[in-house]
Amino acid sequence: MKKQKQHKFLASFSSDRLVLGICIGLALILWLLVKLSEEFISTREVKIEYLLPDDRSFIETPPASVITTVKGSGWKLLSNYLDQEEAIIQFNLPARPSFTINGGILKNKIQQKLGKLEIQDINYDYILLNMDGLDQKNLPIKLVTKLKFAPQHQLKTSIEFQPDSVNISGPPSLLDSLKEWPTEALEMTEIKNSFNTDLALISPKNQELKLSEKTINVSAEVEQNTQKDLFIKVQVLNGPDSLNIFPQNIRISCVVGLSNYDRLSANDFVLEANFKDVSTNSNNNTLPVNLSLIPSFVKQVKLDKESVEYFLVKEE
């Protein structure tokens, strides 16, 4: 008997919970129907497409969209939200230097697009469009590098990059001041091996400028280097025949790549001492020396002596 009473109680309790759940569900549905029938204010983004003549371009990039405040019932707002089609309005622009789209025209276009929703406001009173002709210019590319080589390593040859120029199109007023176009910085450290890589060009800040290329290819050969010492004969300029100097040869040290080590000789340097404007009555009998010719493929050139002593030999 106890078990039968317990089963009846559980069945009655489950039935009551079911009825309660149904009532709550119906109440929620009725509440939702009432709320969706009320009016709400919301915002929508509407994209803008500008249709320019083929030979025209913008001087400054116009806004790509407007934010509009809309009013409508919950049903209309929900229907608009569930519509996955992007809201886009278009304007055919005349071939004129400037053109203004006033707020009234914007609202009418947006109203036609959003249909049942009532347009309350937009975030532009007007849009001023400044236009110019469309021109093209070829600019040399400026390679920007931040390279750090491993000890005793250097470039074997100059860095090469292709293409070395880029075509850029846009309004003549923006192109006139452009002389070159830079790359992003090529940053490398502890370089030991030759490299070949792609490097991006800097993107135009003004979207009305268009580049024909987005990247370039950069390559270079890398080699080891070493120190080489040479004795260079000092050449005297504007000196009398009776002038003698000491020492007549000065040792220099320089860093050179292994590929040029054997061919580097003293004949590749010119070391000069100029006697012009020297007073023979001066107590100072030294002449400064100057390296007037240094091969392009060497670096860190150092002289053992920065000057030579001179003597005037009197003829008997």
What average pLDDT does the segment 251-260 reach?
Answer: 96
- The number of CA neighbours under 13 Å toward the Cβ of 37 is 6
Confidence (pLDDT) at 29: 63
**Is the N-terminal amide bond of 171 cis, ω within 30° of 0?**
no
- 30 domain residue, yes or no: no
pLDDT in tens, 108-147: 988 888 877 778 888 999 999 998 888 999 999 999 999 9
Q: Spell out the residues 6+ positions from residue 247 whose beta carbon is closer than 8 angstroms to its own.
A: 234, 305, 308
Domain-ending residue, one of 133, 157, 178: 133
Domain identity same for 196 and 282:
no
pTM recorded for the entire structure: 0.66
- How many domains, in total, are found in the chain? 3
- 32 domain residue, yes or no: no
Domain identity same for 95 and 164:
no
Give the residue numbers spanning the domain of 98.
Answer: 39-133
pLDDT of 34 over the 90 cut: no
The lowest-confidence range among 33-42, 62-71, 94-103, 273-282 is: 33-42
Q: What is the CATH number of the domain that holds 95?
A: 2.170.120.30
Domain-ending residue, one of 133, 150, 172: 133
Phi, then psi, of 248 in degrees rounded to 5? -85, -15
> Are the beta carbons of 195 and 188 closer than 8 angstroms?
yes
Q: What is the CATH number of the domain that holds 169?
A: 2.170.120.40
pLDDT in tens, 194-232: 999 999 999 999 888 999 999 999 999 999 999 999 999
Domain-ending residue, one of 175, 199, 220: 220
- 57 domain residue, yes or no: yes
